[in-house]
């Protein structure tokens, strides 16, 4: 069994020891808690290493009278603040007093909210200090049977504070100092020794998870893939390793460190880190290579804590069956024996697209295998005029090959007949103010159009033998070799050597055989990631072998979809895309 004990933390991993941190414990008195309330008093105590090194206290003159209830609560009257300095003098002085320190407050969101708003009103930059909330810290460190609540007065009594809080800023700040020191002593016994430990502890990051932060120390600061694993032993005594989770990042060290901090809030990931024995890294030349490697590893390993991309091949397609009178069929595998359209993320989405095509082309919906020579009984849809009834032979059978070809053409070359088939119906619904029904049809056609774009996006890559492309990066150029929609090689090179690096990458790239059925050689999701990269601003094509192209009418100009659905003014009555000759 490998040694899975945490490594000795480095100084970077340890962070800033609490004895070296300067805290400014602040308390504000205000005219209320609303957005229009103002500060009436500021009290602050600066402490370091358990010793007080400075205090700050002043009344503040608000622009409006203090409400009577607030005067009773705080003891601060309108007469007391009449000669006090305004916020424009107090806040810059406090900013200088607290510069570079960690801000501590009891219910810190209240105090920092007023301070931040005051800074913004005066045009002072908010320094985004580290903030410690003694309420949050107490809720995590103390048990329910120790204190009934986490009010300042309750905690001051519990920790025997030298100053009793009395709703005056400096007194409350002094009491909060004693509460802070009591809490630090308490959490020190729980392994909290640094500022990073303290902030994470307040957010309920367990000591065990913080201890595993050292796993990130060996991670390179580059793009790549990381995977958490759990080591165990089989009943036969053999070592066994299970990959728990696979991820990718542009900076492996920074990303992996986040799993052991308060930034990670997903419960299932907390569980994954708890059971993990370690983490490994796979550095990658480019960000795209990291994305693709992540997809491939998730697909092949099926880690139990990954949710997305585990079923990359589990997608649905529409197929025109190979028979005398073709019909639509929903399938999950693409072969060379038919015409396909998709992919769809679910069977329900494929069924919605099929309904769109039934309305547009009057395709038959029955599943019976019809004979081209023997007449069959027509269904109710034929009687309603929603199918040309090839089962009856005659005109319907004669027109059906054109209908099937029109469906194929709409998939492969021109999406507009499908979109335009609803114009008459849409205009009628709008005129009758049946907007919900019109919206349903619009949503269905919009989903169909997006699938058409997705279809041609991946199909265009799948039919291209090779693309060599590059994009500027910090290293010079990121270069990729793409074959039949699959990433075959990735490298980086300085600008002066980009051409040579591209040629070498193409020469040593993975051999990829031409796929069948117009599908990419890799997964559909991989092809979509590649297509998204190729469409980034700044990508340059170095070499193409084959055609990387879409049919002209496979898509629409930006913003033209609504016009296709509703038609130009005046809207001429339109029938379904294919209709019988009279």
pLDDT at residue 518 is higher than 90? no
H runs (alpha helix) in 302-414: 347-361, 380-383, 394-412
How many domains is the chain built from? 4
Looking at the domain assignment, is residue 162 inside a domain? yes
Residues 449, 393 within the same domain: yes
Q: What is the mean pLDDT of residues 560-567?
A: 86
* Among candidate residues 274, 301, 328, the one where a domain is terminated: 301
pTM over 0.75: no
Q: Which of 484, 471, 480 is nearest to 547 (CA)?
A: 484
Six token digits for residue 497: 């050597």
Task: Report yes or no: 24 and 173 within 8 Å, Cβ to Cβ.
Answer: no
472 with 516, same domain: the answer is: yes
Distance of CA 460 to the CA centre of its chain: 27
| pLDDT greater than 70 at residue 531 | yes
Joined together, the tokens standing for residue 486 give 């699959």
φ/ψ of residue 283, rounded to 5: -60, 145
Lowest pLDDT segment from 6-10, 231-235, 327-331 = 6-10
pLDDT in tens, 132-182: 999 988 988 887 788 999 999 999 999 999 999 999 999 999 999 999 999
Residue 309 lies in a domain: no
> Which residue among 153, 170, 201 closes a domain?
201
**Dist CA 273 CA 484 (whole Å):** 38
- Pair (400, 419) in one structural domain: yes
Does the pLDDT of residue 53 top 90, yes or no? yes
Please tell me whether residues 349 and 445 are part of one structural domain.
Answer: yes
Q: Decide: 341 and 408 in contact? Cβ < 8 Å.
A: no
Q: pLDDT (tens digit, 9 = 90+) per residue, 287-334? A: 999 999 999 999 999 999 988 877 777 889 999 988 888 989 999 888
Cα–Cα distances in angstroms (integers) from residue 443 to residues 330, 356, 428, 447, 448, in the given order: 21, 11, 17, 6, 9
The residues that are catalytic are: 167
Q: Are 318 and 345 in contact (CB under 8 A)?
A: no
More confident residue, 427 or 7: 427
Look at residue 268 in the predicted model and tell me its pLDDT.
Answer: 79
The answer to whether residue 158 is domain-embedded is yes
Residues 151 and 45 in one domain: yes
Give the integer Cα–Cα distance in Å for 534 and 545.
16
- Cα(274)–Cα(272) distance, rounded to whole angstroms? 5
The answer to whether residues 99 and 32 belong to one domain is yes
Cα 516 from Cα 524, distance rounded (Å): 13
Domain range for residue 251? 205-301
> 476: which strand partners?
473
Higher pLDDT, 572 or 336: 336
Checking if the pLDDT of 575 tops 50, the result is no
**DSSP symbols for 227-265:** EEEEEEE-TTS-EEEEEEEEEEESSHHHHHHHTTSTT--
| Pair (54, 81) in one structural domain | yes
Q: With respect to residue 278, please indicate whether it lies within any of the assigned structural domains.
A: yes
Instruction: Name residues whose C-beta falls within 8 Å of residue 18's C-beta, 6 or more positions apart in sequence.
Output: 184, 188, 192, 193, 194, 195, 198
Domain of 284, CATH number, reads 3.40.1440.10
Q: Which of 354, 329, 293 is nearest to 530 (CA)?
A: 293
**Is there a cis peptide before residue 454, judged by omega within 30 degrees of 0?**
no
Domain of residue 115, CATH code: 3.30.420.10
Tokens encoding 430: 């709008």
262 touches 309 (CB < 8 A): no
Distance CA 511, CA 297 (A): 19
Q: What's the CA gap between 123 and 389, in Å, rounded?
A: 75
Three-state SS at 349: helix
Beta bridge mates, 226: 247, 281
Using pLDDT thresholds of 50, 70 and 90, give the confidence band for residue 572: very low
User: Within a domain: residue 509?
Assistant: yes
* Arithmetic mean of pLDDT, 411-437: 90
> Token match 């009278």: residue?
65
Q: What is the mean pLDDT of residues 360-370?
A: 85
CA atoms within 13 A on the CB side of 377: 2
d(CA 276, CA 230): 5
Whether residue 428 is found in the same domain as residue 515:
no
**pLDDT score recorded for residue 461:** 94
The residue count for the chain: 582
Do 266 and 127 share a domain, yes or no? no
User: Lowest-confidence range among 108-122, 202-216, 502-516, 555-569?
Assistant: 202-216
Query: Could you tell me the two tokens for 477?
Result: 């150029």
156, 181, 201: which is the final residue of a domain? Answer: 201
Q: Which two tokens stand for residue 314?
A: 């589990």
User: At residue 336, does pLDDT exceed 80?
Assistant: no
Look at residues 278, 573, 577 and name the one whose alpha carbon lies nearest to residue 421: 577
Query: How far is 201 from 215, CA to CA, in rounded Å?
Result: 19
Which pLDDT does position 578 carry in this prediction? 45
Same domain, 380 and 406: yes
- Same domain flag for 188 and 296: no
- Same domain assignment for residues 91 and 107: yes
Q: Rounded to the nearest 5°, which phi and psi values hold at 459? A: -65, -40
Mean pLDDT confidence for 504-533: 91
Going by C-alpha positions, the residue among 5, 14, 73, 15 that lies closest to residue 40 is 73
Tell me whether residue 575 is in a domain: no
């Amino acid at each position: 069994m490998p040694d899975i004990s945490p490594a000795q933390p480095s100084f970077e991993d340890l962070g800033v020891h609490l004895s070296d941190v300067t805290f400014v414990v602040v308390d504000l008195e205000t005219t209320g808690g609303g957005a229009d309330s103002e500060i009436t008093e500021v009290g602050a105590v600066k402490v370091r290493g358990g010793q007080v090194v400075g205090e700050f206290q002043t009344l503040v003159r608000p622009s409006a009278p203090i409400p009577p209830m607030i005067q009773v609560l705080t003891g601060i009257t309108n007469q007391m603040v009449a000669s006090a300095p305004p916020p424009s003098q107090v806040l810059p002085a406090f900013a200088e007093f607290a510069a570079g320190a960690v801000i501590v407050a009891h219910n810190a969101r209240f105090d920092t909210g007023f301070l931040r708003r005051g800074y913004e009103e005066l045009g002072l930059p908010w320094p985004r200090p580290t903030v410690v909330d003694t309420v949050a810290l107490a809720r995590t460190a103390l048990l329910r049977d120790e204190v009934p609540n986490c009010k300042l007065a309750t905690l001051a009594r519990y920790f025997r504070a030298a100053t009793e809080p009395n709703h005056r800023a400096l007194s409350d700040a002094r009491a909060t100092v004693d509460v802070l020191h009591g809490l630090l002593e308490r959490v020190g016994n729980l392994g909290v020794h640094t500022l990073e430990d303290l902030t994470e502890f307040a957010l309920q990051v367990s000591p065990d998870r913080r201890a595993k932060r050292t796993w990130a120390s060996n991670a390179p600061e580059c793009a790549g893939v990381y995977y958490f694993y759990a080591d165990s032993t089989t009943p036969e005594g053999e070592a066994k390793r299970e990959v728990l989770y696979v991820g990718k990042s542009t900076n492996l060290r920074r990303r992996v460190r986040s799993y052991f901090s308060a930034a990670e809030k997903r419960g299932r990931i907390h569980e994954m880190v708890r059971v993990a024995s370690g983490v490994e890294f796979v550095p990658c030349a480019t960000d795209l290579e990291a994305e693709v490697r992540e997809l491939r590893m998730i697909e092949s390993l099926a880690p139990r804590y990954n949710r997305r991309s585990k079923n990359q091949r589990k997608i649905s397609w529409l197929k025109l069956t190979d028979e005398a009178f073709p019909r639509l069929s929903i399938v999950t595998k693409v072969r060379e024996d038919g015409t396909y359209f998709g992919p769809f993320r679910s069977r329900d989405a494929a069924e919605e697209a099929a309904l769109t095509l039934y309305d547009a082309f009057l395709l038959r919906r029955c599943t019976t295998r019809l004979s081209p020579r023997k007449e069959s009984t027509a269904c109710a849809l034929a009687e309603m005029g929603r199918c040309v009834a090839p089962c009856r032979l005659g005109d319907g059978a004669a027109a059906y090959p054109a209908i099937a070809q029109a469906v194929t053409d709409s998939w492969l070359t021109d999406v507009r007949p499908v979109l335009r088939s609803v114009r008459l119906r849409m205009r009628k619904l709008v005129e009758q103010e049946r907007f919900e029904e019109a919206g349903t049809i619009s949503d269905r056609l919009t989903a169909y159009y997006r699938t058409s774009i997705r279809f041609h996006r991946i199909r265009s890559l799948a039919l291209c033998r090779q693309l060599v492309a590059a994009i500027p990066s910090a290293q010079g150029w990121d270069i990729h070799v793409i074959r039949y929609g699959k990433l075959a090689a990735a490298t980086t090179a300085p600008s002066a050597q980009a051409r040579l690096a591209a040629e070498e990458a193409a020469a040593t790239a993975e051999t990829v055989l031409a796929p069948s059925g117009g599908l990419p050689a890799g997964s559909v999701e991989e092809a979509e990631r590649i297509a998204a990269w190729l469409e980034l601003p700044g990508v340059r094509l170095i070499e193409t072998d084959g055609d990387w192209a879409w049919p002209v009418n496979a898509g629409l100009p930006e913003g033209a979809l609504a016009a296709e659905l509703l038609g130009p003014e005046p809207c001429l009555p339109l029938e379904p895309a294919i209709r019988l000759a009279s």
